[in-house]
Chain A
């Protein structure tokens, strides 16, 4: 396999439309690679970067700002507890594509799940 990224909105969308499943529009816009990688950030930053609090909201973040911060984490210019580990593990292209991805996400108030009704006696 020589091609690492599935880019090209038009080609991908036409493929999707020709089948039964019509993938989410944003899914088609960026490469699958970036889409899945971005979703891995959700554990700390919420779905599509909409954090419930404590960590920065990445949704709608200016792309250049995102890239600058990630480079600062990578170089150590911005001190961090854990982000330098993640920044160092990513390629420059991944950082640029993540910046693009998160900058296009809609900001909204993230939800927490309701507490379950206890069955403890």
Chain B
């Protein structure tokens, strides 16, 4: 398969974004015992908390010293024990954490999905379930289903699958990247509408 892959099971891979143009190791992740730490950025978006996701990653990280996790967890009572976190990051800080991560783990929110495709970040999503009070309706299940069909995302249906993927280091693909803008057919149609309005 031509897509770059991130193997979160073997942590000795050296992603390109760790190296400056001059080839110097920028070293934001410490080299320990010959292996580079894997940096994971977790986000539940800006709207609602998603403790089920954060708790699962927190528990997994507690048993995996080599991973470095930062999470944006939303307005919640839950306080992660092992991972670093913030309730809500300023957009500039969010972007910095997002782009320097090796793997993004998130809810099935479109902001994160679009950003991961644009910035070529491997992404693992676990959809929120309204049936568990995690959202106002079940649209994240639909988002996950249809974007999986388009080959745009990697999905963990629940926390067991999430743990399984994290633990066993199943290879996660960086999907075909996207550009910064929408389909030209869409923006052209809007442009034409504006011109005649």
> Do the two shown chains form a genuine complex with each other?
no
